[in-house]
Structures are given as structure tokens and as C-alpha cells.
Chains A and B, each alone.
Chain A
Amino acid sequence: MSFLQLTQGPLWYLASAVFVIGVAWRLIGLLRLGRGPDRSVARRSGVAGALKAIALHSVPHGGNLKRTIYHFVTGYGFHLGLFTLLFFAAPHVAFIKGLTGLSWTPLPRWGFLIAAEAAFAGLILMWLRRMTDPVMRRLSDADDHIATWLVFIVMLTGCLALQEAHDSLRALHLLCVEALMIYFPFSRLMHAFTFLVARAYTGATYGRRGVTP
């Protein structure tokens, strides 16, 4: 079995299983902790508040944008770039098609380049801030750095394989992706899912109180 076959076969299935089961376990386990009923008389709908918070909390509000502009620009640059690459890079579209049969129009090359530039610049700048800003230094732990570096290496190996001419480069990228998928459910990368739960709870609380964000 070649390196590529290993990463496309057994390792891929192992990583996918750990990822899917781990994420589901974390989310179901979290929701199963449950919480008591809120007996206060609601001013407005909590459900509407939850949905609003999930959607609208992404929009800066409260007049703090100027103070958090660094995080705003790098954070959005990274996340938008990353998800554009994840779902619309041509090799990824082909990969997803092979896996599920579903396919859609991939990004043209210039689109890929812009997304990649934004994602890389955003991630590097966010990590540099983590290393230099006294507040972030105080907050950060090993998980923050491991997660950042894993994502960086996944993106880097992906871009190094861009010529799509060498199986070794493709296999290397897959191997890094699999490491990331296995690490994911045990780490703060889970925020990709838990942000929905946290925003929903806050949104519901504030929604019941009639506080508009």
C-alpha cells in the first residue's frame, strides 16, 4: 500500500470516524447537561432572540469596532478565506464529488489565490497577536497554539500540492488534514460548532428580556 493509498483509505476513514463521532459526542453531551426552565415572564420571544444572535452577532455592534478592528479584519479574512478554500477550491470540489457524488462550480484560479492570501495573512497575523499582545499571551494555552499550527500546516501543505502533479504532496496534505480531524473534537477547534450553542443561549436570554443587539 502506497503512502497515498494509506492516507486516502484506512487513515481517511479512521479520521472521519473520530471527527464525526467526537463532534457529535461533544455536542450531544453538552446539550444533555440540560438546564432548568426560565420562569420569568418574557418580554419578547427567546427563540427569535436565539436565531437573531446566531446571525446578527457576527455583525459588530456596541461601538467597539474601532477597538477590535485588528481581530475583526484578521478574523474575518482568515475565516472567510478558509471556508472559501474548504468548499470551493477545485481539488476540494473534486474530492467531495468523489466522496458524495455532489458537486458544484469550483472557484477560478484567481478566486483561489485571493481566498488563500486572505486566509494565510489572517491566520499568521492572529497568531502573531497571540504571541505579542499581553492580554492574549495571558489567555493562551497549548491548545490555542497547537490548533493554530495544525490549521496552518494543513493550509500550507494544501497550497504546496497546488500543482496536483505529485502524489506524495497530495498524500502529505491528506495526512495533515487527518491529524487535524482527529485533534478537532478534543480541542478548542470545537468552537466551530459550540459558537452556535453559546450564541443561542445568550440570544435567548437577551431576547426574552427584550434587549435588541
Chain B
Amino acid sequence: MMTNPIAPKTAHLAGPGLLAGVLALLAALLLTLALAAPAMAQTVRPPANATTNVLPPGPEMRGGVLGNRSDGAIWHDIRKGAAGESQDLRAGSGVLIQSQGEDWRLIRNQWVLPIAWKVLAGVLAVLIVFFALRGRIRIRGGRSGRVIPRFSLVERVVHWFVASLFILMGITGLIILFGRPFLLPLIGPGAFAALASASLQGHNLFGPIFIVSITALFVTFARGNGFRWVDLKWLLKGGGMLGGHASSGRYNFGEKTWFWWASLCGLALSLSGLLLLFPDHLPGFLQTASAEVPPERTLMQWATLVHAVAAAAFIGFGLGHIYLGTIGMEGALEGMTRGTVDETWAKEHHDLWYEDHKAAASANASRAEVRAAAGDV
């Protein structure tokens, strides 16, 4: 368990135009949550369906002097999933603590959570160090002043749709995942309860839209994102970071990897998320009442783990993507805001795509010349 909570760092990125809007979204959400948070503990009510008056385990559970079994021995049996007797005759109801659930809890709290926050903090640290050492990747040849189209209106809208939901889902999700160890000690139980409730509702509500958006992302950007030989060469040259020029088409190896990474994480998040959202609506073949541990419960346990791992992977890679798209590289962001990039930028980063574009453009121009010569303007 984590004993020394550290407040997670948030990358603060400044960017023009649309990004500012998305950041405003983020700021608005934070503001919303911050306003909700101030000590309002006295106003917290249990939900209408909450169970009250649950007493903690009393002394009768203890091992006694008359040779009764000790706490340790009882816990050992319980932990192994030994069944007792119960009025409820359904499968598994005699089990006091589901042993598999305890395994799940340990995996989640002792493996997934610590690794996830270390990975995310690590990515941030690497980016900060990289920025400090390397600085912003400039357009070496200077801007040409001529622009060529890079992302269409549809591509841009879909991208920012995913991006805005990514930020909403990311922040609410991180609060749900890390709130208890990191935020609870900082803001107290009352405020945290409100914040967690708000995050949960927001996360659940935006989840289905996020699935729609990530599907649209896949459909919109799948073309041109297949891996090619040139990508291997790009990789061997370290994307040009090791000196020398790395050729690439419309998307380079890193962008393609990001596309497939986002798609796979998105798929994992969507499927596990749907399981978590609608546990009572599993397809029939997954529902059986006979097994010791009902399969839907196993699925739920897997789903939470998969959801957390995929989210950490998605956010981790996403931080790198956001870095390169904004402060990390000059001339990249405008492709996603205005839809056009500078010719020099295109030559330096996507030379093969640039040449294709020039060839197509001149072919169009020569076709127009032929038409004009034929008197058909």
C-alpha cells in the first residue's frame, strides 16, 4: 500500500486556438470539482439505497480461551474460501469473503495502482527532462510561408472530439483510481466523497460517448496508418533524433504506433467499461448461477484491472503525444487546428508525404492546363 501519497503532477500546456479551448474545458472541470470540494462534510447524505447500521465485527468473532480457533486460523480458512452455512441457498452464498475477490483487491492495490502512478509520473519526468535537455524541436529550415493541407475538417473535428472526452474521462478516471490514496488525505472525507461521487457520475456518463468517439477516430484515421518498411528504417534512425534524416510518409512510426496503441487501449477500455457500466446486462451465455464464483463476478474483477491498466497505458502514451503536438515541436499543432502545415515542416518530418502531395498537386495543375488548352476552362 502507498503510505506517502504525492499529489500527481499535471502537465500544464499552453497552446493557441483550439487547444486553449480544450484546456479551458479541463480548467472548467477542475474548477467545478474544486467548488464542489470545500469542506461540506456536514451536507453529505448516504444514497437512498445505502445500507446503514452495519456493526464492525464484534468480540464474538475472536478466538477464545476455551480452545476455540484463533483469529489467525479463522482468517486462514476464510481466506481460502471455506464455506460456512447460510439461509441463502444460492451458489457461493455460504462463503464469507470471496477469496478471489481478496486476490483481486491485493493485485489492484499492491500492483496495479503503484505501477500505474509510477509509470505516469515517470513519463512526465522523462518529458520534462527531455524538454530541459533538447528543448523545442524547431523547424530547422525556417518557415517557408507556404502551407499545405494536412488534416481535413472531419479529421480535426474527430480528433478534438476524442481529445476533449479523453481529458474528461482521464481526469475523472484518475480521481476514481488514485483519489483514495492521494486526495482523501489532502481534502478530507466530506469533500472527497462529493468529488468521488461527481467523478463517478461524470465518468459513467461520458463513457458511452467516448466509445463513439474512439470508434470514429479509428474509422477516420485507419487509412495510412498501416506499418511499412520505411517505418522500420525510421525506427532504426531513432526518428531522426540520433542525427541524420529519417524518412516517413504521412504518418511516421511513432504516430502509427500511437494510432494502434490508442485504438487497442480504446477497445480494451470500451469493452471493460461496458462490463462495468452494465454488470446486470451481460449476454446470456456469460450468466450462470451454478458455479462457486459466478462468471460475471470474475469478469467484473478482470474488467476493473484491464480498465486500469489500459487507462494508464493510454494516458501515459497520450502525455507524450500531447507534448510533441504542442510545446515539443514547432509547427505540429497547426496541422490539427488550422488544418495546414508549413511546407518546410512537411519536408523535415514527412518528406515522402510531402513529395506525394507535390506530385498530386502538379498532376492536377497539368490536367487543368490540358483542359484550358482544349478551350474547356
A-side residues, CB < 8 A to B, are 2-4, 113, 116-117, 120-121, 124-125, 127-129, 131-133, 149, 152-153, 156-157, 159-169, 172, 175
Contacts and interface: CB of A to CB of B under 8 A. Distances in A.
A132 B18 contact: yes
A172 B208 contact: no
Interface-central residue, B38, B161, B198, B202, by most chain A CB under 10 Å: B198
A168 B156 contact: no
A157 B208 CA distance: 18
A159 B205 contact: yes
Contacts, number: 104
B157 interface: yes
Contact of B209 (A117, A157, A165): A117
Contacts of B183: none
B161 A124 contact: yes
B54 to A, nearest CB: 18
Query: On chain B, which size bracket covers the interface?
Result: 35 or more
Nearest to A3: B40
B36 A165 contact: no
A153 B205 contact: no
23 contacts: A117-B209, A120-B205, A120-B209, A121-B212, A127-B21, A128-B160, A128-B161, A132-B156, A132-B337, A152-B28, A160-B197, A160-B199, A160-B201, A160-B202, A162-B201, A165-B46, A166-B40, A166-B44, A167-B44, A168-B35, A168-B37, A169-B198, A175-B35
CB-CB nearest 9 A-B residue pairs: A167-B43, A160-B198, A168-B40, A162-B201, A166-B194, A163-B197, A132-B156, A165-B47, A128-B157
A165 B45 contact: yes
B32 A167 contact: no
Given A129-B157, A167-B45, A156 B32 contact: yes
A10 to B, nearest CB: 18
A130 B200 CA distance: 30
B28 A153 contact: yes
B208 A2 contact: no
B5 to A, nearest CB: 23
Contact of A160 (B21, B32, B165, B209): B32
Contacts of A120: 205-206, 209
Contacts of A156: 28-29, 32, 202
Nearest to A116: B205
Nearest to B208: A117
A3 to B, nearest CB: 7
Contacts of A129: 157
A166 B45 contact: yes
A186 B164 CA distance: 28
A94 to B, nearest CB: 13
A161 B201 contact: yes
Interface string B175-211: 0000000000000000101100111111001101100
B17 interface: yes
A152 B208 CA distance: 17
